Structure 1
């Protein structure tokens, strides 16, 4: 509680500084780019420093705008791409505040912003090695490749507030300021809050569905001779969810629930908390362009908890598959007093603790379009299940190489290989990027996650090292994935086509069955996906559409809709040369399929055969506006409800968001 108060106090001080800056300066303008990649604005006086580092002069009038405030990404520095980005002031995407729509409907959540989320299409793991395996909320946390590192003399503020209807609220705050010309300091804040959609019992007074916090401090620094550069951030992510478990059918069909309403939740008092701290640092020394030394450091601590005090009742109604113990006999499984105090009688409690330190150290360089990297990566991690009195600590060592070639016609080809020295994990990736054609392939062998290896609580137990648990054993064998893909973007006047094809072959696929127990397939699974997208613009009218057709072979363990389609129709308007408006309609459709259900006790999505998620055409009307540095949007979500149907299910047991009206604001301040 004290920590949150400190955050709010710091947030208030930053807003106060921004407001004071607004009263002490005026105007917007477009600066120029200096030879040292430092955005230059117009000033009446230059600040001087005895150290030779340019100071930040707030005493004189400075005029800055979105083109003079630049940022860069760690990935570009890492790959020796000296690329600066300007602040995006275009309109057309502000209304897609929901993370599902932000990623073009390629994810499935539980109907509300901030709920457990998973990809619709199969995705191979991003890293090799032994990962934790709790990823239902990972998409909402800040990631290294998303951090914008600024270099700007004027204070920059990006404030976003969205009230999305049905008590969906999103707040994002970004503030950046240079200490001097070589050192920048920034802060990011994100808050997601929403209420429950389903009706709880009369004994439950908690209407909050979830609350999510992200708080990040980040900085970047380079020496005057530009030989050394450092990028670093500290991040806190805290996700609290009051899990509902979906609707309680009460003898009705799911279609009848859509028609009649009165949607009662299965779980009334269950709750999840997923909290982690992360420290990240990247630094490099450039002796010569062809020979550079770099290092990436990461440290993270994480605790994942779930509690349901109504476990027996929810086991009786069939939500939990198995009760292992005769409850009511006091302390179970562990002698840890701190843990047994949380394990109330007739309740289910799950806890996992995780810490990791990782470094990637190596050399890199470039010469006449050729880039290379060589690295050694080491991971030291510890995992504890206090209920099971189970704890492990381990280190893993990886070697990797990355090669990239740019050609004179701006095409590029690259290949990377990483290998686990003490196991069978590996990753091989090759790709060619032409002017309008991209083709590539990836092969991976990945270890099962820690959650797939060992889990223990009242409802779910497995351990790869023992046969004591009769129902299932944990997974110890690697999963192999092979992915080939190609895409093109030919242009025909004002029309751009985007055909694509993806082929995935998965061996020893690891999944969670209909009882939410971990399993491993004994047969190969193949996934074939063909896509066709197009973009057409003429005058004030524009349309962007995407269609995917997917089929699978092998055991029915990866459920994907056979038809997936997105489309946007939009018109651009200009009112009195000041107000820019884009208004239109966005459409999304998925065909019928048995989408995976969510089990909050282990934070995993699993197979289910009880509810077909019927195809539904979702239509959202929107209007995005911009006047000066302020962007607004108005959104009428699911506008076709009652016309094309009574609604839809976002996931098994979870209704999609009904017809709602949302509003959002983004305010960019540059001085």
Structure 2
């Protein structure tokens, strides 16, 4: 009771802070970006985005991001905005939220269905893809001054938190160094359920060599992703009612599994080189002529997936629900290794230009390449190897900042012959009339490795001979800038879709299944007050897909400037999710599966917050799951895995130049 009283007082102080109007020097500042502002982006200015506050840094040149797969296509780095800064969790920092096991950094899956892109042989463990740093898609920086970015989040105790550090600087002869470090650690006792711990570590190093005036560019990148967790299979004490009243000591609860450990390790090295011809500048017009480029990339990727579960006396309830997994009185284990060596040789031609916001862009591009992949898959029964040959092509057009079109294709020539993917995206900016965004994907792909076969204790649990899955997705969105509305629609049709049933076994549906998704975004402004809204409606076949029909993300806050230097946001984030049967995460199978034991009701999550910014320093205070102060019901986005109750979170970030 005393804890709840103190928390209520803190919430009251935060919400009453909006009354400090005497300290506001510029309440009419909308935060809109001027065309000459370093953070102005002409290509995205017409999207119905919030009235973001901006950092005024006239002494900065600007920072641009590009990736190794196409260093001539850049986007502006804009991490100085205050809006949304308090949404620190990776599962909420994406356009549409992910469901997790209730812990920061735990296994996750998207609440809005999107296609998975496959490239050759895939193992099929994707529960940590949200957090991975890929060496091939590592963000490099184009800048003139050294750049450092630091961010730290403190959880309920010192053993819970998140740390991010990035550094980039230029050296002589066009050499740029990039360092990236991220860690999520949830190993404390105060706000963690028994048998549940998380420690995720991502380290990336990149070196780009782009000498001025040289036709040869090279890029070297290394990424190490390690996901270590203790997984409890859920809390057995909650059952389906999930109503035990206020819980003062989480350690008293009984998990389904007491000692189950998982470790996924990814080590990836990539070396990419480009040799350019042409691109000479016309002496009369000053325009750059068409360029031709030869590209080669070698990539070495090592993956290891290890799971072990020691049998304990209290694990009986889990094995009673999963009798197929009760193989040994001592426990179970699984080990899969996957080594990949990839060689890609390609050719491209393009015309280079600049956007209105000074980004390097390609007015048109045509690319074609061949990729050879050598795979070695290992486990308790030895190793096996397989070779793949993939053909890749892409066509892009950008005659102006208002029109963009990109079409990409992939076809398997050797290995899983016949698998293909064709994807297209496009944008049409009509000025005051709005902005149209469209996309389409058509792909045929073979089952993942763990969808076909899986072993526990070297015992074959299942061995499937599934056919290929055919998927078609069409989507589009339209933004009306004068009313600030963005509406979208997506339709997916899947034939022979593979899923994991209530027993945790893979099954292939015998017919087509469709998913219809509607989205809407609308942001309101009244003086210094903002009301940002994003709504998702989706309808799918529940026999195969388990997705919430309604999911809303809302932020009501005050945005102003105090003392002439402090940009502040003060308000509340609200998440609304309709009742549904969420998927269950089985730690022994390392998969999200269907379940019929738990049905949730409509749930509203309320998180008050306060954030501030002074030049390049940002800070926030966020009180998560505040609704549990008044109601003992807990949030479930994964069955049997409740989110903890109310707690305080503190975070800060600092961007340094020089």
TM interval, short-chain normalised: 0.7 to 0.9
TM-score normalized by structure 2?
Answer: 0.81
Residue among 163, 168, 193 paired with 1:176 = 168
- In structure 2, distance between residues paired with 1:651 and 1:592: 12
User: 1:317, CA displacement in angstroms?
Assistant: 4.3
> Are the counterparts in 1 of residues 275 and 293 from structure 2 also a CA contact under 8 Å?
yes
Give per-residue Cα distances to partners, 1:272-298, cap 9 Å, x unaligned: 111121112332122123421123332
- Cα separation, 2, equivalents of 1:142 and 1:438: 27
Does structure 1 retain, via aligned residues, the 8 Å contact 2:557–2:570? Answer: yes
Determine helix, strand or coil for the equivalent of 2:451.
helix
Indicate yes or no: 2:63 matched with 1:70. yes
Could you tell me the TM-score, scaled by structure 1's length?
Answer: 0.80
CA offset digits 1:77-125 (Å, max 9, x no partner): 71733x3634522212321111111124521100010111111122222
Gaps (5+ residues) in structure 1? 1-30, 34-63, 201-206, 328-344, 463-471
**Cα contact 2:258–2:314 (8 A) shared by 1:** no
Partner of 1:568: 555
Q: What secondary structure does 2:396 align onto?
A: strand
Quote the Cα distance in structure 2 between the aligned partners of 1:624 and 1:258. Answer: 32
Show the counterpart of 1:485.
Answer: 475
Given that 1:73 and 1:145 are in contact with CA atoms closer than 8 Å, whether structure 2 keeps it comes out as no
Map of 2:369 onto structure 1: 375
Could you tell me how far apart the structure 1 residues matched to 2:325 and 2:617 are? 57
Report the secondary structure of 1:270's partner residue.
Answer: strand
Aligned to 1:273: 263
8 Å Cα contact 1:589/1:616 also seen in 2: yes
| Correspondence for 1:504 among 482, 492, 496 | 492
- The Cα shift of 1:407 comes to 3.2
Could you tell me how far 1:65 is from its partner in structure 2? 7.8
- 2:121–2:375 CA contact under 8 A, matched in 1: no
1:427 to 421, 444, 467: 421
**Equivalence map 1:337-352=2 (5 Å):** 346-352=330-336
Give the Cα separation in 1 of the matches to 2:235 and 2:568: 40
Paired residues for 1:487-636 under 5 Å: 487-492=477-482, 495-553=483-541, 556-636=543-623
Correspondence for 2:441: 442
Q: Give yes or no for contact 1:411–1:434 (8 Å, CA) kept in 2.
A: yes
Q: Counterparts of 1:605 and 1:475 in 2: how far apart (Å)?
A: 21
Decide whether the 8 Å contact of 2:233 with 2:587 is kept in 1. yes
Separation in 1, partners of 2:327, 2:60: 67
- Residue 614 of structure 1: how far off its partner (Å): 2.5
Name the counterpart of 1:232: 220
1:361 is matched with which residue: 332, 345, 351? Answer: 345
Find the residue that maps to 1:505 and give its secondary structure: strand
CA distance in 2, matches of 1:222, 1:542: 44
Counterparts in 2 of 1:591 and 1:208: CA distance versus 1, 3 Å: closer
* In 1: Cα distance, 2:472 partner to 2:514 partner: 9
Tell me the residue number matched to 2:178.
186
1:659 match: 646
Does structure 2 retain, via aligned residues, the 8 Å contact 1:96–1:102?
yes
- 1:287 aligns with 277
Q: Distance in 1 between matches of 2:606 and 2:327?
A: 50
Which residue matches 1:99?
90
CA distance in 2, matches of 1:198, 1:178: 42
In 2, distance between residues paired with 1:108 and 1:520? 24
For the residues of structure 2 that align with 1:145 and 1:391, how far apart are their CA atoms? 26
- Following TM superposition, by how much is the alpha carbon of 1:367 offset from its aligned partner in structure 2, in angstroms? 3.9
Q: Does the 8 A contact of 2:374 with 2:386 survive in 1?
A: yes
Higher relative contact order (CA 8 A, sep 6+): 2
Q: Find the counterpart in structure 2 of residue 27 from structure 1.
A: none
Structure 1 Cα separation of the partners of residues 181 and 351 of structure 2: 40
Query: Aligned-pair distance for 1:258?
Result: 5.5
1:453 matched to 2:445:
no
Cα gap change, 1:612/1:392 in structure 2, threshold over 3 Å: closer, same or farther? same
* Number of residue pairs matched by the alignment: 571
Superposed CA RMSD in Å reads: 2.7
Tell me how far 1:139 sits from its aligned partner.
Answer: 1.7
Cα deviation, residue 658, structure 1: 1.5
Report which of the two has the higher share of strand: 2
CA distance, structure 1, for counterparts of residue 134 and residue 470 of structure 2: 26
The alpha-carbon distance between structure 1 residues 190 and 568, as it changes in their structure 2 partners (threshold 3 A), is same
Q: Is the 8 A contact 2:135 2:204 kept in 1?
A: no
**2:105 is matched with which residue: 114, 129, 134?**
114
Looking at structure 2, the residues matched to 650 and 562 of structure 1 have their Cα atoms a distance apart, in angstroms, of 13
Looking at structure 1, the residues matched to 213 and 37 of structure 2 have their Cα atoms a distance apart, in angstroms, of 22
Shift of 1:129: 2.7
Taking a change above 3 Å as real, the CA distance of residues 213 and 66 of structure 1, as seen in their structure-2 partners, is farther
Question: How far apart in 2 are the matches of 1:627 and 1:324?
Answer: 55
- In 1, are the aligned partners of 2:240 and 2:597 still within 8 Å (CA)? no
Look up the SS of the partner of 2:315 in the other structure.
helix
Q: Give the conservation status (yes or no) of the 8 Å contact 1:66–1:89.
A: no
* 1:522 Cα deviation from its structure 2 partner: 0.9
List gaps (5 residues or longer) in structure 2.
1-35, 39-56, 279-289, 353-362, 430-434
Report the secondary structure of 1:99's partner residue.
coil
Contact persistence 1:402–1:416 (CA under 8 A): yes
